[in-house]
Amino acid sequence: MAPLPEPRPAVLPLPGGRQGATVRVHPLLCGLASWPEPWAHREGGRFAKLRSIGTGVSRDSWVPVPIVAFLVEHPGAGPMLIDTGLDPVVAEHPRLSFGRILGATGGKTFTMEPGQAVPEQLRARGVNPADVKLILMTHLHYDHASGMGQFPNATFLITKWEWDAANGPMSLLHGYVRKHFVRDVDYRMLDFEGREAEPYATFGRTLDLFGDGSVRALPTPGHTHGHVSVLLRTSRLEILVAGDATYTRHTLETGHRPAHIEDERLFTRSLRALQIYHREKPDALVIPGHDLDAWRELAPVYA
């Protein structure tokens, strides 16, 4: 397959910012998967790697995990998304979205109701999917990017590190399915080294997307090379969408790592920043990437 065009830099702030703006945040459950407990929380010992992919782990101890995305409604910029959930084809044929190998392995554990496709969920909330012009991708793994093709009018925000990893050699082995990366859409790079980056809370470099403090991208590499978390300001509280920088609340609270990490050193640094934020801002809500118990406690919308 021919390489996709290199994304251009995002020009910040994006239009639509309003001083003092707050956003409405709708957590969207896009399906469920299941994985062996040692995948989410690393074990020691000789067989740890095998057990992390389920070998020798009783099927009863696999845990259900939510596949998630977020609708964020900004008063000036309109609706945007964080991640895209799953292509509706996953409900019937995971192989058609994830490909032969992933579709037959981890992908076969996915379950999805037809109404869980993100466009359906937007319509149910009175939002026309065609009005979503902006999608911030925490990263491009297949459980976050499968639904990208449903938003052909959107600009996708990603980091260069993530883009390069997702389009690099053997990227399938790292959790990327290149056909998810739709062509003919606008990809824009977030540059945390650029002059727009500024410190916020416990994070040294953040990008204030609209220049009004309502939506900030935070670099949290480690799970993948270019992973991004997102800070959202609602009228009542601050929400930190951690993405897969921490799969679970257990990891956030104890530091217990998952089995597979692209860069251990960066993961540690990112997790530490999340942990300090969590400790210093006890009133803020930190949402881990794949924790069903934590997910069930969320409100349908935060305004």
The residues binding Zn ion (CB under 5 A) are: 143, 244
What minimum distance in Å lies between the beta carbon of 165 and Zn ion?
14
Nearer to Zn ion, 119 or 258 (CB): 258
Q: For residue 232, which of 211, 250, 254, 215 has the smallest C-alpha distance?
A: 215
How far, in Å, CA of 182 to CA of 179, rounded?
A: 7
Nearer to Zn ion, 141 or 278 (CB): 141
The 3-state DSSP class for residue 89 equals: helix
What minimum distance in Å lies between the beta carbon of 124 and Zn ion?
23
How far, in Å, CA of 192 to CA of 124, rounded?
A: 35
Nearer to Zn ion, 176 or 187 (CB): 176
Other CB atoms within 10 Å distance of the CB of residue 47? 13
Interstrand relation of 24-36 and 285-288 (parallel, antiparallel or unpaired): unpaired
What minimum distance in Å lies between the beta carbon of 302 and Zn ion?
21
What minimum distance in Å lies between the beta carbon of 91 and Zn ion?
18
Nearer to Zn ion, 120 or 244 (CB): 244
How far, in Å, CA of 209 to CA of 99, rounded?
A: 34
Nearer to Zn ion, 143 or 162 (CB): 143
What minimum distance in Å lies between the beta carbon of 182 and Zn ion?
19
**Burial status of residue 35 (CB atoms within 10 A of its CB: 0-12, 13-18, 19 or more):** buried
Nearer to Zn ion, 39 or 203 (CB): 39
**Burial status of residue 263 (CB atoms within 10 A of its CB: 0-12, 13-18, 19 or more):** middle
| Ranges of H-type helices in 107-235 | 118-124, 142-145, 160-166
What minimum distance in Å lies between the beta carbon of 138 and Zn ion?
8
What minimum distance in Å lies between the beta carbon of 15 and Zn ion?
30
111: DSSP letter:
B
Enter the tokens of residue 28. 């969207």
Nearer to Zn ion, 17 or 85 (CB): 85
Length of the chain: 303
Enter the tokens of residue 29. 């459950």
